[in-house]
Amino acid sequence: MTSRRRLSATLLFTLLVAASAAAQPSPAKKPATPASPHDQLHQRLDTAAEAALAKVVPWRRELHAHPELGNREVRTSTFVADELRAMGYEVTTGIAKTGVVGVLRGGTPGPVVALRSDMDGLPVTEETGLPFASKERGEYNGRDVGVMHACGHDFHMSMLLGAAQVIASLKADLPGTVKIIFQPAEEGVPGEPGGAEVMVKEGVLDNPRVDAIFGLHVGITPLEAGAITFRPKGLMAASDTYSIVVKGRQTHGAMPWAGVDPIVVASQIVLGLQTIVSRQIDLTTAPAVITVGTIEGGSRHNIVPDQVRMTGTIRTFDPEMRTQILARVKRTVENIAAASGATAELKLDEGYPVTWNDPALTERMAPSLKRVAVGTFNPNAQPTTTSEDFSYYGQKVPALFFFLGVAPKGSDPSAWAANHSPKFSPDEAALITGVRALASVAVDYLAGR
């Protein structure tokens, strides 16, 4: 075959193949799986959260610039109440002095979920140098003090307002009710009742009855902005304080047998208290701490005094263990004193209970928090010996409390100015994560996720 014929045959074959291919039907494209109704709800939630950020940042800066001490949050409570009303919430004020509650009823009946933020600042003079740094003053324990949101409650409030706005935008599709709680005096008020304990006593979890409650705290550890950590069961310690007055009988230091030496008895009590944790408690259940912080007695080197006063703190993570330890402290103190012919008066001041994360609720809501976490997500975080009065809500209804990282990305953890520092300055990049997290746990809980 000549080259011309070979070329013609090749061309003809190519044309026949092309024609055959054109005649064949194109393979059908696999249709995309449509997003589920709940996925669509998540998409709307995330879009609404991004839009809310335009208000959340200014809210945060306004609240940061004007902090108020516990039970004095008059301006703050008015601010958050007005914002909630503008969103369409039914608002009640004056709970536990300055507390605010907003209620939003969804499009269909269902469970009731609560989200909580604290509102009070601390008696700390700010040293951040921010353009919106606090210049406020207040009275604390009879002294004029600077006031600062040194624990991040300005973040908590602005993120909760943002979540409230997001939830309001989804109202028609929510099967149930959302209760937004702004609480005063989480940091405590010397000589006054206040905070979550009083909120609960005044019925904040009733009418409508709350089925589950959620809250968060920024900082605590130097995690990068957007990280979320928590754990089931005890997350933050119960915080109890005690004072002990050991009474002996004064005598000359050269003749101690003529009296009863309360200094020696107090020393034995210090050692005895340490054996409660090391020898009487099952530490595989949870850690515990008993600390003697002060011990005072005597006025002269050669006088056995008539009494010694001691104070300290007790930190526990398990409610049953807490009960055991408090009972054993009393037994140890009184019996050691009696064995030496002295007496001991113990005063226990029970503080915040264990911040207890309901295990079933924690497991159920973990996917909601994992979906919105930026970077670190740790559902088995180490417990912290700090305390929180969110714990009072958890004594009444299933509760979940989690931590949100607010340290600037790439910052040196060793240089981190922690909560309660006058230099505490959380990164606003974490605000969007907090808004999405709070809104997500509420929406997912109502949806039965």
Give the pLDDT confidence score for residue 346 in this predicted structure.
Answer: 97
Average pLDDT value for the chain: 93
Residue 17 pLDDT greater than 90, yes or no:
no
Tokens of 169: 């935008």
Give the pLDDT confidence score for residue 33 in this predicted structure.
Answer: 65
pTM: 0.86
**Under a CB-based contact definition with an 8 Å cutoff, are residues 386 and 236 in contact?**
yes
Residue-wise pLDDT tens digits, 206-218: 999 999 999 999 9
**Under a CB-based contact definition with an 8 Å cutoff, are residues 406 and 227 in contact?**
no
Residue-wise pLDDT tens digits, 232-251: 999 999 999 999 999 999 99
Type of residue at 305:
P
Residue 374 pLDDT greater than 90, yes or no:
yes
Residue 16 pLDDT greater than 80, yes or no:
no
Give the pLDDT confidence score for residue 25 in this predicted structure.
Answer: 54
Tokens of 149: 């949101």
Question: What average pLDDT does range 292-313 have in this prediction?
Answer: 96
Give the pLDDT confidence score for residue 145 in this predicted structure.
Answer: 98
Confirm or reject CATH 3.40.630.10 for domain 37-236+354-446, answering yes or no.
yes
Confirm or reject CATH 3.40.50.150 for domain 238-349, answering yes or no.
no
Residue-wise pLDDT tens digits, 352-366: 999 999 999 999 999
**Under a CB-based contact definition with an 8 Å cutoff, are residues 213 and 393 in contact?**
yes
| Percent over 70 (pLDDT), the chain | 92
Give the pLDDT confidence score for residue 13 in this predicted structure.
Answer: 47
**Under a CB-based contact definition with an 8 Å cutoff, are residues 195 and 389 in contact?**
yes
pLDDT bracket for residue 5 (50, 70, 90): very low
Kindly report, as residue ranges, where domains of CATH 3.30.70.360 are found in the chain. 238-349
Q: In sequence order, what are the beta bridge partners of 121?
A: none
Q: What is the DSSP letter of 26?
A: P
Give the pLDDT confidence score for residue 12 in this predicted structure.
Answer: 44
Give the pLDDT confidence score for residue 31 in this predicted structure.
Answer: 60
Give the number of other Cβ atoms within 10 Å of residue 279's Cβ.
Answer: 7
Residue-wise pLDDT tens digits, 78-132: 999 999 999 999 999 999 999 999 999 999 999 999 999 999 999 999 999 999 9
pLDDT bracket for residue 15 (50, 70, 90): very low
Cite the active site residues.
352, 428
Least confident piece of the model among 17-31, 39-53, 262-276, 387-401:
17-31
Residue-wise pLDDT tens digits, 157-177: 999 999 999 999 999 999 999
Kindly report, as residue ranges, where domains of CATH 3.40.630.10 are found in the chain. 37-236+354-446
Residue-wise pLDDT tens digits, 21-40: 455 555 555 666 667 888 89
d(CA 172, CA 164): 14
Give the pLDDT confidence score for residue 230 in this predicted structure.
Answer: 98
For tokens 């951040």, what's the residue?
Answer: 128
Give the pLDDT confidence score for residue 36 in this predicted structure.
Answer: 86
DSSP state letters, 162-200: HHHHHHHHTGGG-EEEEEEEEES-TT-BTTB--SHHHHH
Give the number of other Cβ atoms within 10 Å of residue 55's Cβ.
Answer: 14
Question: What average pLDDT does range 270-290 have in this prediction?
Answer: 94
